[in-house]
Amino acid sequence: MFLTICRSILAGLAAVAATSFLLKPTIGYAAELSQPARELTELYERANAALLRGDVATWDKLAPMAKDFVLMSPFGGRPSRYADYTPERIERMARFFRNGRFQQEVVQAYSTDDMIVLVTIERANVEVGGLPAQDWGLRVTSVFTRHGSGWMLAHRHADPLVEDVSLEEAARLGRGERMLAAK
């Protein structure tokens, strides 16, 4: 009886160890990315560069959204989901971004056989929403899931806090307070 219990415990521990070994993600910086993560990183950079030029067809082709996609926009507010991206909204996106130049710095990436997470700093000079061209920096986390032989964007969270902010400014933002634009 004792041996049977010990064997069961050992078998369970072996299963847990094997599972954690099989699911352990590959973690890397830009120079150390796995081949799939490197290829996806390059593809995503091309997709975002196209989007900032107003080319949503290329963006959608290179980085299609998964049916369970969620966006945490750098402008704040309620998260948007795949169902929110109607053809009309996609067309508005094409007009929202214009004449952009884009580069992406990989901070870190995590990859498994079925998921890749990219942690990046995105830097652009782009016309956004009718504003004159200006530099934009975003901290971004993007999650991709495997669909057949390709990848789909499942989640994107971006914020404009690339530069340090003070504790007081972070607290003000956390309270939902906004500064009036300088005149």
Residues 6+ away with beta carbon under 8 Å from 23: 112
Written as tens digits, the pLDDT of the chain (183 aa) is 444 444 444 444 444 344 344 445 666 665 678 899 999 999 999 999 999 999 999 999 999 999 999 999 999 999 999 999 999 999 999 999 999 999 999 999 999 999 999 999 999 999 999 999 999 999 999 999 999 999 999 999 999 999 999 999 999 988 988 876 544
Give the closest residue to 31 by CA, choosing from 102, 145, 109. 109
Please tell me the predicted confidence (pLDDT) of residue 23: 47
> What length is written for the chain?
183
Dist. CA 56–CA 9, nearest whole Å: 54
Q: What are phi and psi of 52, to 5 degrees?
A: -75, -10
Q: Residue 140 corresponds to which tokens in the numbers above?
A: 């971004």
Cα 31 from chain centroid? 19
Closest to 143 in 3D by CA, of 113, 110, 102, 106: 110
The predicted model scores a pTM of 0.81
Q: How many CA atoms lie within 13 A of 15 on its CB side?
A: 6
Q: What is the pLDDT of residue 117?
A: 97
The set of residues, in sequence order, having a beta carbon less than 8 Å from that of 154 and lying 6+ positions away, is: 65, 66, 68, 69, 70, 143, 144, 145
pLDDT value for 179: 73
Identify the CATH assignment for 26-174 out of 3.10.450.50, 3.20.20.70, 3.10.20.90, 3.10.20.740. 3.10.450.50
pLDDT number for residue 115: 96
Q: What are phi and psi of 54, to 5 degrees?
A: 90, 10
Query: Quick one: pLDDT at residue 34?
Result: 86
Q: Give CA–CA dist 167/98, Å, rounded.
A: 34
Each domain of the chain, given as residue ranges in start order, spans 26-174
The confidence score (pLDDT) of residue 57 equals 94
Q: Are strands 80-81 and 97-111 parallel, antiparallel or unpaired?
A: unpaired
